[in-house]
């Protein structure tokens, strides 16, 4: 879909395939990650595929996802073998993909070698989707230009025509509309095939047009760093800025620049400000509704749910190495509802791992406390101002991501802490909720420390839930 500045969403999804530096360790299937700010992206499904293509050789690269005017999602992507086809599928919920097929977009263009990195924009003036992609014709990949076609229904297509040819090699185009103008970010591929004629390394530049179909003219002086490709625009409403993402494919990382007007762009943002899933490549980013995001989190990040009210300790992991409660983690969220009959003493609400590697939540003399430890280094936080009421249902949550620990009471953050600990290693002790099952992450082993009251709706997630996520639980 054509990205516009009119979106006021605060929920974003990324679709991507995976590979290591220089196209090693490839997992060429659809993956998801989500973000609230467009900078910190958290992988869903533990960075494993959410959908695999069966078109051609079963390869899915360079995914692009957009919503149509009927509310349906459409996915286009690069397939193999090379040739005249791109991949297509549609979905009502971003979980179930149907109508998968190969679209013969270049079938009438002689000597087509490839059809790469397709994207599309909806044109409300003509009630059509404009699909565009890069193809080379001739003997090899050294003649890449952008072509396009139009469709109303993804069944019948207008004849393919040339879309953009600046006089040198280009691939990986992405479009956005801002204040009545249309902007294209696109990779200059010329150095790859003609290094002597074009000595500058590959990078992305910007072009602009007064209309969607062009013609587009290069904007001088705006480009991404060397050795980048796969540009993608996203408007982030909370900061009223465009983000331009790009892929250092040979180095295995992403970069980000930002602008409020599409004319003046920042330098590349510091790597300390951004987070991308490990080995993510050539991503598509787009806004979605809160309901849609919550459905994806429940589908792809909820490890387990125990809804039944309980009044005594519940062991959910025995001693050993098998099972999710023994695995190492860099991200974790635990949420539950509880009703306390006493505030006194130590009462353990959740117990995972041990005093070297683990996560725990407890009440101690009326205060809610959480702790995470990794290789014996401990980060403990307390809700100092959060005296717990008795005989009332309370929602609590503890979230952890790579050294940051947050504690929530009724969807309000009451404590936050940071430590240089990152990954929590595997742990082989018993664990559960409503009591202690060994030496806990606080370092205590003095009895069961059973919770006095009722616990229900215990949920454990493989992502660090954000405040907005908790409000929709």
Q: Which helix (H) or strand (E) holds 136?
A: strand 128-136
- What domains can be seen in the chain, in order of their start residue? 3-296 (2.115.10.20), 301-471 (2.60.120.200)
Tokens of 19: 């590979």
Q: Residue 244: its pLDDT value, please?
A: 98
Neighbours of 151 (CB within 10 A): 16
Strands 346-353 and 431-433: antiparallel
- pLDDT score of 321: 87
- C-alpha–C-alpha distance, residues 418 and 402, integer Å: 9
CB half-sphere exposure, 458, CA atoms < 13 A: 20
- CA 345 – CA 363 distance, rounded (Å): 8
The contacts found for 106-109 with CB under 8 angstroms, 24 or more apart, are: 106/135, 106/147, 106/160, 108/159, 108/160, 109/84, 109/135, 109/137, 109/147, 109/160
pLDDT in tens, the chain (473 residues): 455 445 568 999 999 999 999 999 999 999 999 999 999 999 999 999 999 999 999 999 999 999 999 999 999 999 999 999 999 999 999 999 999 999 999 999 999 999 999 999 999 999 999 999 999 999 999 999 999 999 999 999 999 999 999 999 999 999 999 999 999 999 999 999 999 999 999 999 999 999 999 999 999 999 999 999 999 999 999 999 999 999 999 999 999 999 999 999 999 999 999 999 999 999 999 999 999 999 999 999 999 999 999 999 999 999 998 888 999 999 999 999 999 999 999 999 999 999 999 999 999 999 999 999 999 999 999 987 557 889 999 999 999 999 999 999 999 999 999 999 989 999 999 999 999 999 999 999 989 999 999 999 999 999 999 999 998 77
Separation CA 267–CA 172 (nearest Å): 21
- The most distant pair of C-alpha atoms in the chain lies apart, rounded to whole Å, by 80
Check: CB of residue 97 under 8 Å from CB of residue 90: yes
CA atoms lying within 13 Å on the CB side of residue 236: 22
> Whole-model pTM?
0.96
**Three-state secondary-structure class, residue 419:** coil
- 10 Å CB burial of residue 179 (0-12, 13-18, 19+) is exposed
Rounded Cα distance between 187 and 173, Å, is: 7
- Count CB-CB contacts under 10 A for residue 356: 18
Write the DSSP string, 62-81: EEEEEE-TTS-EEEEEE-SS
Question: What six digits make up the tokens of 342?
Answer: 């006493």
Alpha helices in 175-330 (DSSP H): 190-193, 290-300
159 contacts 148 by C-beta, under 8 angstroms: no
pLDDT of residue 7: 57
Closest to 169 (Cα-Cα) out of 146, 186, 188, 148? 188
Q: How far apart are CA 288 and CA 297, in angstroms?
A: 13
Q: 401 and 466 in contact (C-beta within 8 Å)?
A: no
Helical H segments across 233-367, by residue range: 290-300
Q: Which helix (H) or strand (E) holds 326?
A: none
Measured CA to CA, the distance from residue 64 to residue 98 in angstroms comes to 16
Q: What is the pLDDT of residue 5?
A: 45
Q: What is the separation of C-alpha 363 from the centre of its chain, rounded to a whole number of angstroms?
A: 34
DSSP-based three-state secondary structure for 98: strand
Please report, for the chain, how many H helices and E strands are present, in that order. Answer: 3, 32
Q: What share of the chain is helix, strand, coil (3-state, %, to 5)?
A: 5, 50, 45
pLDDT score for 322 = 85
Task: Label the pairing between strands 97-103 and 116-123.
Answer: unpaired
Query: Which helix H or strand E contains 413, and what residues bound it?
Result: strand 412-418
Please list, in sequence order, all residues whose beta carbon lies within 8 angstroms of the beta carbon of residue 384, skipping any fewer than 6 positions away: 367, 414, 415
β-sheet with 97-103: strand ranges across: 61-67, 73-78, 86-91, 97-103
What's the rounded Cα separation, in Å, for the pair 90 and 373? 43
Residue of 103, 82, 231 whose CA lies nearest to 160: 103
């Amino acid at each position: 879909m054509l990205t516009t500045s009119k979106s006021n969403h605060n929920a974003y999804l990324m679709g991507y395939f995976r590979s290591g530096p220089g196209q090693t360790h490839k997992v060429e299937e659809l993956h998801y990650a989500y973000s609230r700010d467009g900078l910190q992206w958290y992988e869903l499904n533990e960075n494993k595929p959410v959908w695999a293509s069966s078109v051609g050789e079963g390869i899915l690269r360079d995914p692009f996802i957009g919503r149509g005017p009927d509310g349906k999602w459409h996915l286009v992507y690069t397939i193999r073998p090379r040739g005249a086809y791109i991949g297509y599928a549609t979905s009502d919920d971003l979980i179930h993909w149907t109508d998968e097929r190969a679209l013969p977009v270049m079938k009438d263009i002689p000597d087509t070698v490839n059809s790469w990195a397709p994207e599309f924009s909806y044109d409300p003036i003509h009630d059509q989707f404009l699909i565009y992609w890069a193809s080379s014709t001739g003997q090899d990949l050294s003649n890449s230009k952008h072509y396009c076609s139009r469709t109303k229904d993804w069944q019948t297509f207008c004849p393919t025509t040339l879309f953009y040819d600046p006089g040198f090699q280009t691939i990986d185009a992405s479009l956005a509309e801002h204040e009545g103008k249309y902007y294209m970010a696109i990779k200059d591929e010329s150095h790859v095939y003609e290094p002597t004629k074009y000595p500058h390394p590959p990078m992305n530049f910007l072009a602009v047009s007064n209309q969607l179909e062009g013609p587009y003219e290069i904007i001088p002086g705006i480009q991404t760093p060397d050795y980048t490709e796969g540009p993608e625009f996203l408007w982030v409403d909370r900061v009223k800025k465009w983000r331009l993402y790009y892929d250092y494919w040979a180095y295995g990382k992403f970069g980000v620049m930002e602008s409020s007007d599409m004319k003046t762009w920042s330098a590349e943002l510091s790597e300390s400000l951004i987070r991308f899933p490990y080995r993510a490549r050539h991503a598509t980013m787009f806004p979605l509704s809160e309901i849609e995001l919550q459905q994806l989190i429940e589908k792809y990040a909820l490890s387990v749910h125990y809804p039944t009210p309980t009044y005594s300790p519940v062991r959910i992991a025995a001693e050993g190495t098998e099972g999710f409660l023994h695995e190492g983690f860099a991200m974790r969220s635990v949420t539950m509802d509880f009703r306390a009959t006493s505030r006194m003493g130590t009462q353990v609400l959740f117990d995972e791992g041990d005093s070297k590697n683990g996560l725990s939540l407890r009440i101690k003399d009326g205060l809610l406390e959480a702790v995470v430890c990794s290789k014996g280094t401990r980060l403990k936080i307390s809700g100092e101002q959060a005296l717990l009421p008795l005989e009332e249902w309370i929602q609590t949550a503890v979230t952890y991501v790579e050294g940051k620990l947050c504690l929530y009471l009724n969807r309000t953050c009451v404590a936050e802490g940071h430590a240089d600990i990152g990954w929590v290693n595997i742990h082989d002790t018993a664990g559960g909720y409503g009591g202690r099952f060994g030496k806990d992450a606080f370092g205590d082993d003095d009895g069961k420390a059973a919770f006095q009251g009722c616990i229900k709706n215990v949920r454990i997630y493989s992502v660090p839930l954000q405040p907005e996520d908790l409000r929709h639980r």
